[in-house]
């Protein structure tokens, strides 16, 4: 630690326990995290516990204050000093509000920061900068039915109308069974927040009052499994004995909630989970936690917490008749990596997650000896009035990724653009168009 940095810590009321360790505050918590229920219930505390272990702290445990959805993760130094990290999980918006009033050092969010929040927090620095906006995990929901229900797929528009109570019978969906019985998580659930955001709110709908609400994911899943007329939504680890159906959005193919499709964010009911770290923050624990969350160890915790990690793997893709011939040929001879590069809205620049993923992809390519003509990039775009323009833009996006890989010593095999073919989301909404503007990575 340099003299200058040490002076900053001392002036801020921090005491360093050793040159290698994070400094311990003389008074109060070492770190205050506020925001998302989805992150704060288990993933955030699990990451904090592992960070404390990495720091060599002892007797690590959780304490629950009187306030619901709040925890303290506590460790102890060899000298017996308590180190406390506070986690309050009252919803994503509360995290940004807490940054503004200086009652939190780090915001956990299950959605991207809003423009209004960016403006309100501009005094803290640019919270959309790559160092500030950190995607720590990908989340996904499964839509579950009773195993006896013959229905195999639904689209997001149908889902919204079903859970709003507008579609009342299975026969209206081409199935059988009579009246539809709705099952949903309770209002405090991050799973419910996700479903509301991705399905109901985007279509101006609200959950039907007839839905049976559950605090327990396991109980909800088992209830649907026992009810031939039931339908529910659940986090990936809780499908259990129920039947998950494939989901389509707009003109996309229907997709099952597979980890690989959630990792690439192709599956319609996937979303990013974020840490937001003010660039001007002087709290070293905030930066350390964000860095740890991105590490292989941190991503392993993401997976064991029931979310989808960002660890890059190769997967085989089965060709089908809906794919263009060139894509079918690629899938017969190569494997696709479990990552998509996406672009900032209205820009040819990689978004912040894509910048993080570049390092992961490069690591995979180098570890597996793929630096010499073993990598193909495939670009896609959203629908344009001129198909030739869509083709050109899709290839230009792939070229933007190529430039970054070439800078780091990768000799490409090929760069291709498939225009607006094979959409993964509807092109009638901004969110869908952004998802369709993507670059896939294939390896031989």
Distance (Å, whole) CA 69 – CA 42? 11
Q: What does the DSSP assignment read for 300-329? A: HHHHHTTSB-----EE-----TTS-HHHHH
Q: Is residue 269 part of a domain?
A: no
Q: Which helix or strand (DSSP H or E) is residue 430 part of?
A: helix 430-436
Whether residue 61 is found in the same domain as residue 116: yes
Q: Is residue 271 part of a domain?
A: no
- pLDDT of 442 above 90: yes
Q: Mark which of 285, 304, 323 sits at the end of a domain.
A: 304
- pTM of the entire predicted model: 0.82
Distance (Å, whole) CA 340 – CA 358? 10
Whether residue 346 is found in the same domain as residue 388: yes
Q: Is residue 281 part of a domain?
A: yes
Q: Mark which of 304, 322, 339 sits at the end of a domain.
A: 304
- pLDDT of 99 above 50: yes
Residue 348: pLDDT band (50, 70, 90) is low
For the chain, give the mean pLDDT: 90
Instruction: Provide the residue range defining the domain that includes 410.
Output: 312-443
CA dist 174 → 101, 170, 178, 268 (Å): 52, 7, 11, 22
Instruction: Name 71's Cβ contacts closer than 8 Å, sequence gap at least 6.
Output: 40, 45, 62, 63, 64, 65, 86, 87, 89
Whether residue 432 is found in the same domain as residue 341: yes
Whether residue 256 is found in the same domain as residue 165: yes
Q: Is residue 270 part of a domain?
A: no
Half-sphere exposure of 267 (CA within 13 A, CB side): 28
CA dist 310 → 28, 138, 367 (Å): 33, 7, 17
Counting every residue written for the chain, the total comes to 444
* pLDDT the model gives residue 414: 95
Spell out where 68-225 has E strands.
70-76, 82-88, 106-109, 133-145, 153-155, 181-185, 212-214
pLDDT one-digit tens code per residue, 30-64: 999 999 888 998 999 999 999 999 999 999 999 99
Q: Is residue 265 part of a domain?
A: no
Q: Is residue 333 part of a domain?
A: yes
pLDDT one-digit tens code per residue, 355-382: 889 999 999 999 999 999 999 999 998 7
Q: Is residue 268 part of a domain?
A: no
Helices (H), 80-180: 92-100, 115-120, 156-163
- pLDDT of 344 above 70: no
- pLDDT of 6 above 70: no
- pLDDT of 124 above 70: yes
* pLDDT the model gives residue 399: 93
Mean pLDDT of 272-291: 94
CATH number for 254: 3.40.190.10
Look at 132 and 343; give whichever has higher pLDDT: 132
Whether residue 296 is found in the same domain as residue 380: no
* pLDDT the model gives residue 423: 84
- pLDDT of 437 above 50: yes
- pLDDT of 296 above 80: yes
What's the token pair of residue 19?
């040159």
Whether residue 292 is found in the same domain as residue 359: no
* pLDDT the model gives residue 429: 61
Mean pLDDT of 146-151: 96
- pLDDT of 168 above 70: yes
Tally of structural domains, the chain: 3
Q: Is residue 436 part of a domain?
A: yes
Whether residue 411 is found in the same domain as residue 317: yes
Whether residue 29 is found in the same domain as residue 110: yes
Distance (Å, whole) CA 43 – CA 28? 23
* pLDDT the model gives residue 178: 96
Whether residue 228 is found in the same domain as residue 297: no
Distance (Å, whole) CA 185 – CA 195? 10
* pLDDT the model gives residue 21: 84
Mean pLDDT of 7-34: 66
Residue 15: pLDDT band (50, 70, 90) is very low
Q: How far is CA 7 from the centre of its chain?
A: 37
Helices (H), 164-272: 190-195, 217-225, 259-263
Whether residue 28 is found in the same domain as residue 78: yes
Residues forming beta bridges with residue 214, ordered by sequence position: 185
Helices (H), 164-206: 190-195
CATH number for 343: 3.30.1330.60
Angle at 198 between CA 192 and CA 203, to 5 degrees: 110
Whether residue 82 is found in the same domain as residue 147: no
Whether residue 300 is found in the same domain as residue 253: no
* pLDDT the model gives residue 45: 97
Helices (H), 245-370: 259-263, 284-294, 296-304, 325-333, 352-367
* pLDDT the model gives residue 329: 95
SS3 label, residue 367: helix
End-to-end, the C-alpha distance of the chain in Å comes to 44
């Amino acid at each position: 630690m340099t003299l200058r940095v040490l002076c900053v810590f001392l002036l801020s009321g921090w005491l360093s326990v050793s040159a290698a360790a994070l400094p311990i505050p003389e008074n109060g918590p070492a770190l205050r995290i506020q925001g998302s229920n989805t992150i704060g219930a288990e993933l955030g505390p699990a990451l904090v516990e592992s960070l404390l272990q990495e720091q060599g702290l002892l007797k690590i445990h959780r304490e629950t204050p009187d306030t619901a959805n709040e925890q303290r993760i506590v460790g102890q130094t060899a000298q017996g000093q308590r180190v406390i990290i506070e986690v309050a999980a009252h919803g994503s918006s509360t995290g940004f509000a807490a940054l503004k009033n200086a009652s939190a050092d780090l915001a956990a969010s299950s959605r991207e920061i809003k423009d209004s929040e960016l403006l309100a927090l501009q005094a803290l620095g640019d919270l959309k900068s790559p160092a500030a906006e950190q995607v720590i995990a990908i989340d996904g929901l499964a839509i579950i039915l009773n195993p006896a229900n013959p229905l195999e797929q639904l689209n997001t528009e149908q889902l919204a109308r079903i859970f709003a109570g507008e579609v009342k019978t299975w026969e209206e969906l081409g199935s059988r069974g009579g009246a539809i019985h709705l099952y949903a998580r309770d209002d405090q659930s991050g799973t419910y927040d996700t479903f509301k955001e991705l399905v109901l709110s985007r279509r101006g709908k609200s959950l039907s009052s007839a839905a049976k609400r559950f605090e327990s994911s396991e109980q909800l899943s088992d209830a649907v499994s026992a009810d031939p007329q039931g339908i529910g939504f659940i986090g990936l680890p809780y499908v259990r004995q129920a039947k998950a159906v494939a989901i389509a959005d707009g003109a996309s193919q229907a997709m099952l909630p597979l980890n690989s499709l959630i990792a690439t964010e192709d599956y319609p009911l996937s979303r990013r989970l974020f840490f937001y770290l003010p660039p001007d923050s002087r709290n070293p624990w905030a930066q350390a936690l964000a860095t740890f969350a991105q590490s292989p160890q941190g991503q392993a915790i993401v997976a064991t917490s029931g979310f989808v990690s960002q660890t890059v793997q190769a997967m085989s893709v089965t060709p089908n008749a809906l794919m263009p011939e060139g894509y079918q040929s690629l899938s017969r001879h190569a494997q696709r990596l479990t990552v998509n590069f996406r672009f900032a809205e209205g820009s040819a620049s990689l978004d912040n997650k894509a910048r993080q993923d570049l390092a992961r992809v490069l690591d995979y390519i180098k570890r597996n000896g793929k630096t010499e003509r073993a990598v193909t990039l495939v670009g896609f775009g959203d629908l344009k009035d001129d198909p030739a323009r869509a083709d050109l833009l899709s290839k230009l996006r792939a070229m933007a990724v190529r430039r970054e890989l070439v800078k780091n010593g990768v000799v490409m095999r090929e760069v291709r653009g498939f225009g607006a073919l094979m959409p993964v989301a509807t092109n009638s909404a901004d969110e869908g168009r952004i998802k369709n503007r993507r670059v896939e990575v294939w390896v031989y």
